[in-house]
Amino acid sequence: MTGRDGGAAIGPTTESSPVIILVRPQLAENIGTTARAMANGGLFHLRLVAPRDGWPQERAWYASSGAHRILEAATVYETVDEAVADLHRVFATCPRPRHIIKTVMTPRNAAADMRLTEARHLRTGILFGPERAGLDNEDMARADTLIRYPLNPDFMSLNLAQAVLIMAYEWWMAADNTAPHVLMTNETQVASKGAIENFFSNLTRRLDETGFWRNEQKRPGMIRNLRHYFQRGEITEQELRTLHGVVTELSRTAELSASKKAAKGSAQEGQPDG
C-alpha cells in the first residue's frame, strides 16, 4: 500500500470556498499536513507556487491523514501572479508587516469578509509563505489585505499547517450554527418542571416519614435549599427515575430497620426475669 491509496471522500463544501496558496513550500510533509488542516475546515482548493522539491511528492500523501483528494486536485504554478490570476480577492498571512500600507485583519474578521465575498460569487485566495522566512514584500504586494494572527507577542511561531488550520477553522466557524451549550441526553430527555416537582414532593414526604426534619424551625429553609438544588440544572427523566428509586429504597431500608428494632424490643420485653 502506498500513501496515495484510499483517503476520505472529501470535496468542495461550497462553490467558491477560499483557495489556499502555498508559496514556495519546502517540505512535502508540510504540504500534506496543510491538506489535512484544510479538510478540517471544509477547504478543498490547494495551489502550489514553485514547490522547492517539485510535485507530486509521495511523502505529502502519507502526512495528509487521508486528505488525499485535496492533494490529487492540487495545481502547480510558476509564479504568484499566475496562481492568483483568476481570483477576485487575495489575502496574505503576514506575522510582521513592515513598510507596507495595507489593510490588516485578524483571521476571524478575514474569514467573515471571505464569507461575504463568497456570497457575491467572487473567489478569494490566501497566500502562505515558505516555512523558513514567510512571504516577502513582492508576494504581499499581490494581496488586497494582510492577515495577522493575534498570538502571544513573545512567541508567535507557527508551522505552515498550524497557520492554515487557524484560517480553516475561522472560515468554518464563520458559517457554523452549532449551539454554544448543549446537554447531551442520549436516549432520555430533560425532565419537565412538573416531573421535578413530583419527585421533590416524594422526597419531602419520605424525609418527613423518616424524621429527617428534626428542627421544625429550619424545615422551610432546608426544603427551599433542596428545591434550589434540583431546579438548578437540567435533570433528565432517567435521572429522576433513578432518584425516585434511591429514595424508595432508602425509605424501605429504614422501615425494615425500624421493624427489626421493634421486633427485637418486643422479644426482650417478653423474656422472663432471671
pTM for this entry: 0.76
- Tell me if 196 sits within 8 A of 137, measured CB to CB: no
Cell of 262: 421493634
- Write down the pLDDT at residue 262: 61
User: How is the beta sheet containing 145-147 ordered, strand by strand?
Assistant: 75-77, 46-49, 19-23, 124-128, 89-93, 145-147, 103-105
Angle at 159 between CA 124 and CA 175, to 5 degrees: 40
The confidence score (pLDDT) of residue 29 equals 96
Residue stretches of the chain with pLDDT short of 70: 1-5, 96-98, 253-255, 257-274
Task: Give per-residue pLDDT as tens, 2-57.
Answer: 444 578 889 888 778 999 999 999 999 999 999 999 999 999 999 999 999 999 99
Spell out the alpha helix ranges (H) of the chain: 28-40, 58-63, 68-73, 80-84, 107-119, 137-140, 160-173, 193-209, 219-232, 237-270
- The phi, psi pair for 47, rounded to 5°, reads -125, 140
pLDDT, residue 97, reads 61
Helix (H, G, I), strand (E, B) or coil at 20: strand
pLDDT at position 1 is 30
Q: In this predicted structure, what is the pLDDT of residue 181?
A: 83
